[in-house]
Amino acid sequence: MTKSDIFIGGGALALIALGAGCSQETTAQPAGEQTSSTASAFERYVDDQGNISLPQNITTDWAHMGSWAVAKDGGVEGIHNVYAPKGDIEYFNVNGDFADGAIIVKEVRAARGAAHTTGDAHWAEDIQVWFIMVKDAEGRFADNPLWGDGWGWALYEGKDPTKQVATDYKKDCLGCHIPAKDTDWTYVYGYPALGADVAQYAPQDQAAASAAAAAMTTMAAEASGDAMAGEEVFARCASCHSLTPDQHSIGPSLAGVAGRKAGSAEGYNYSPAMAGSDVAWSAETLDAHLADVPGFIPGNRMATFFPAGVQDPEERANVVAYLMEAGQ
Ligand code: HEC
Ligand code: HEC
């Protein structure tokens, strides 16, 4: 993708691009929505401290970039709809990159399925969370832990849309976006609205890729002891869980998890389900939780973020062994 040179001149360039692209319909839009100019986007959704607010007009005024259906057990577990202001999408179509100030929102909805005249069709239910990214080509908020790597990062939960809950994008977000690093940390190939060119970034051979990943994990498991292999599996947990006492992020710190009652780490705001559960964490209960995240403690919030858990029994045993040691 082309990089920051296109940002020189910022807003003016975005306006020219729009004028050339689609004069007709955009003139009817409110000015702030159609331009991707730095000033308008930052004024609307970002305050001078770098706090990102949850846009209120997403589904009515913005354009739908694309959707993800997240599969589980042969069904659809969740539907992720991704939106951006029309001007930001048009800018990308002309320039092949997101404009400074561009904003992308992903809403995560639970899905339900039933037999329909089309087949086993799933539909989206209530919003669980909104993930937000705001393009920052100038490194504006160097001291704010929610800004970096060219973006501002934010997270709102459906149960309280007034409260931004992410604390540190490096812990809460970045780990999971590493596969999309080369496309400016965004999974662009999932968004048909961005034009035909983005398809080239799609994972090429899925079967080969997952076989390679499986082989790597098996090798790791064979080459080393359980807990050591478990440390590698724990990399999947680390975007949400630290092993440093009291250092909570999306999930609670797992320091001292072995033996403690579920939902009892000081200073972390648990779901009522986890806080009220009488499970105590042992090798057995950890295994059961990771095998069936939505089911073992129904209503717990990890089911929103990481419903898949760890399905491979060997990987699960390894990460549990690691937690029983490292998480003491
Ligand atoms: C569990 C892994 C994971 C975590 C944690 C995560 N993301 Fe993502 N994110 C993804 C994946 C994978 C996609 C695209 C596919 C999907 O939605 O299933 C995505 C898509 C997005 C999108 C839509 C644009 C894009 O990049 O494709 C936004 C916006 C986003 N994430 C923001 C965030 C923010 C902000 C955080 C932290 C508060 C975060 N994400 C944390 C994995 C993650
Ligand atoms: C994308 C975020 C995310 C990922 C990845 C994730 N978790 Fe969680 N986890 C959470 C959240 C959020 C909670 C809090 C649940 C609640 O309050 O209902 C949680 C809670 C837990 C708890 C309960 C802790 C306590 O204090 O009672 C354990 C144990 C746990 N996770 C283990 C893991 C393990 C092991 C992995 C990796 C295999 C993992 N999690 C991956 C988000 C995540």
Per-residue pLDDT tens for 254-290?
Answer: 988 988 889 999 999 999 999 998 888 888 889 999 9
* Ligand 2 probe mutation, 80, 171, 240, 249, most atoms within 8 A of CB: 240
Q: Report the number of distinct structural domains present in the chain.
A: 2
pTM assigned to the model: 0.57
Separation between Cα atoms, residue 145 and residue 52, nearest integer Å: 12
Same domain, 224 and 194: no
pLDDT for the residue numbered 15: 34
pLDDT per residue over 44-80, tens digit each? 899 999 999 999 989 899 999 999 999 887 889 999 9
Give CA–CA dist 40/78, Å, rounded.
Answer: 33
If asked whether residues 95 and 75 sit together in one domain, one would say: yes
Residue matched to tokens 């000081």: 266
**How far is it, in rounded angstroms, from Cα 13 to Cα 249?**
38
Q: How far is the CA of 185 from the centre of ligand 1 (A)?
A: 9
Query: Are the beta carbons of 113 and 120 closer than 8 angstroms?
Result: yes
CA–centroid distance, residue 205 to ligand 2 (Å): 31
Residues 67 and 170 placed together within one structural domain of the fold: yes
CA dist 25 and 11 (Å) reads: 19
Mean residue pLDDT of the chain comes to 82
**Best mutation site among 105, 176, 250 for ligand 1 pocket (most ligand atoms within 8 Å of CB):** 176
Q: What is the pLDDT of residues 95-124, one digit of tens each?
A: 999 999 999 999 999 999 999 999 989 999
Residues 140 and 236 in one domain: no
Would you say 74 and 122 are in contact if contact means Cβ atoms under 8 Å apart? no
Domain boundary among 134, 168, 201: 201
Angle at 276 between CA 273 and CA 277, to 5 degrees: 80
Q: What is the CATH number of the domain that holds 179?
A: 3.50.70.20
For 254, the domain range is 206-326
Q: Which ligand is nearest to the CA of 249?
A: 2
The verdict on 174 and 210 lying in the same domain is: no
Let me know whether 87 and 211 are in one domain: no
Which of 168, 302, 310, 323 for mutating ligand 2's site (highest number of atoms within 8 Å of CB)? 302
Q: Are residues 65 and 178 in the same domain?
A: yes
The last residue of a domain, from among 154, 174, 201? 201
Ligand number nearest to the C-alpha of 105: 1
Instruction: Please write down the long-range contacts of 139-143, taking CB distance under 8 Å and 24 or more positions apart.
Output: 140/50, 141/49, 141/50
DSSP code, position 83: E
- Cβ of 230 less than 6 Å from ligand 2: no
Q: Model confidence over 121-167: pLDDT tens digits? A: 999 999 999 999 999 999 999 999 999 999 999 999 999 999 999 99
pLDDT digits (tens, 9 = 90+) for 180-211: 999 999 999 999 999 999 999 998 765 555 65
- Domain at 286, CATH number: 1.10.760.10
Residues 133, 193, single domain; the answer is yes
Predicted pLDDT at 8: 34
* DSSP bridge pairs for 164: 156
Examine the domain organization and report whether 18 and 38 are in the same domain: yes
